Amino acid sequence: MKRLLFLLVIVLLSCNSDKKQKEPPKERQPFSEVEVQVLMEDSVSIRAIEIMSGGVAFAGSNGYYGFYNSAEGKVKMNRQQYDTIYPEFRAVASTANDFFMLSVANPALLYKTGETGNMELVYKEEHEKVFYDAMTFWNDKEGIAMGDPVENCLSIIVTRDGGKNWRKLPCEQLPEAAEGEAAFAASNSNIAVEGEKTWIISGGMKSRVFYSPDKGKTWEVYEAPLVQGESTKGAYSLDFYDEYNGVIIGGDYTAPEGKTGNKAVTSDGGKTWKLISEGEGPGYKSSIRYVPGGEAKEMVAVGFTGVAYSADKGQTWQELSDEGFYTIRFLNDTVAYAAGKNRLAKLIFR
């Protein structure tokens, strides 16, 4: 009798275990609101942030850079000076060991975390046309930054030794830039990487997508269907969910209400792009990001006009907030950091 009871318990537990294993995962619910928690208000304008272990790093105007410690809830700031210049930083990146920040304009200055605790200058470029827009790393050893053309190609520099040394790619290695083709240093999101693959967007008189399958060794270029033909028009921000699904957003910051020709997606790795929500959804935005775990369906776009969200690959949009930001990065599937004019904030989506 005891043996029968024991077997019955085992069977019931087994059935219960099977039931738990067969329960489908909870379906994600679309966001309907966002809570904005301001972490810092200061005179610094921030267009580049980087989520790192323990918080978020940033660099911005007038040489200021800093780190928000999420455990302490505090921001520590420093100021970088070069000669008599306080550089304007609009690109940042990180590896497991170092933080990097890159300035726009002449001279372009790229700093990395130094051995002494101060930032160390690892690359300088002087040219009347120099203007760097974005930077990221493929891995802890190899990274890339891009900027406007100074000759007849985009300016692209790469490192293969963890950021200690950077080399500018010769124009012979890159597609030729069109007349008036450049990029916008609006949110440090002109570059996207997935594995060894890299995508770069340009804007202005010509707006295109540059693609490298091998970490910057070879390049191709594809057309983008966004508005272009003027210096303020084109693609401002790019993101890829995986090696196939990507999104670009932009428009014209001088006419932010324009909702046509400013949003597009790809499902073939950037070879072809399709305009989405034409005449609807957000107008000009400076930064867009896929929501982690959203299966390339969910995306959030920010700009000085507010925060917009789509749960269906950009077909329809919801304005979640009219609070303005320049750039956004997700910490997880419900929390992001965003920055803009004079502030850094945490965005909690529900």
Q: What is the C-alpha separation between 260 and 111, in angstroms, rounded?
A: 39
How many angstroms separate the CA atoms of 79 and 248, rounded?
A: 33
Instruction: Report pLDDT for 23.
Output: 58
CA-CA-CA-CA torsion sign (78, 80, 84, 88):
negative
CATH architecture of 43-349: 7 Propeller (2.130)
pLDDT reported for residue 10: 36
pTM reported for the whole predicted model: 0.92
Paired tokens of 297: 């369906």
Predicted confidence at residue 115, as pLDDT, reads 79
The predicted pLDDT at position 87 comes to 98
pLDDT of residue 31: 98
pLDDT at 19: 38
Q: Residues near 273 by Cβ (< 8 Å), separated by ≥ 6? A: 209, 222, 223, 224, 225, 248, 264, 265, 266
* Cα(301)–Cα(306) distance, integer angstroms: 8
- Please report, in tens digits, the pLDDT of each residue of the chain (350 residues total): 444 443 333 333 344 444 345 556 577 899 999 999 999 999 999 999 999 999 999 999 999 999 999 999 999 999 999 999 999 999 999 999 999 999 999 999 999 998 777 999 999 999 999 999 999 999 999 999 999 999 999 999 999 999 999 999 999 999 999 999 999 999 999 999 999 999 999 999 999 999 999 999 999 999 999 999 999 999 999 999 999 999 999 999 999 999 999 999 999 999 999 999 999 999 999 999 999 999 999 999 999 999 999 999 999 999 999 999 999 999 999 999 999 999 999 999 99
- State whether residue 95 is helix, strand or coil: coil
| Of 348, 299, 346, the residue nearest 325 (C-alpha) | 346
Q: What is the DSSP letter of 176?
A: P
